[in-house]
Amino acid sequence: MTEKARELYRSANGDRWSLVHEYDTCQVFVRHEPNLSSGGRPTDISIGDFLVRDGKGPEHAELLRLIGTLVETPVDK
C-alpha cells in the first residue's frame, strides 16, 4: 500500500502519533506507535475516534491545529 505520513507528536517516552493518508484505500487516519518497551505495535485510529478518546493531549491539539489550517482565511496585505 502506498501511504504518506506526517508526524503529529512524539512524547518524551518515545510514543509517536502520525496523520496517515493511505492512497490505495483513500483513507486518512491517526497511527499511534508506542515505544518499544510498551510493545511497539502500531494502532490505526479513525480521526473521529482519536479526537473523542481522551482528546486533550498535545497530539490532539496538533491534529486540531492542522485541521484549522484548512479553513483559515488568508490575510490581505
What percentage of residues in the chain have a pLDDT greater than 70? 95
Question: What pLDDT, in 10s, does the model give residues 42-61?
Answer: 999 999 999 998 778 999 99
Give residue limits of the domains in the chain.
3-69
pLDDT level of residue 76 (50, 70, 90 thresholds): low
The pTM score is 0.82
Residue 8, pLDDT above cutoff 70: yes
pLDDT level of residue 30 (50, 70, 90 thresholds): very high
Tell me what the mean pLDDT of segment 10-30 comes to: 95
**Residues 30, 35, 38, 41, CA torsion sign:** positive
d(CA 5, CA 39): 21
Three-class HEC string of the chain: CCEEEEEEEECCCCCEEEEEEECCCCEEEEEEECCHHHCCCCEEEEHHHHHHCCCCCHHHHHHHHHHHHCCCCCCCC
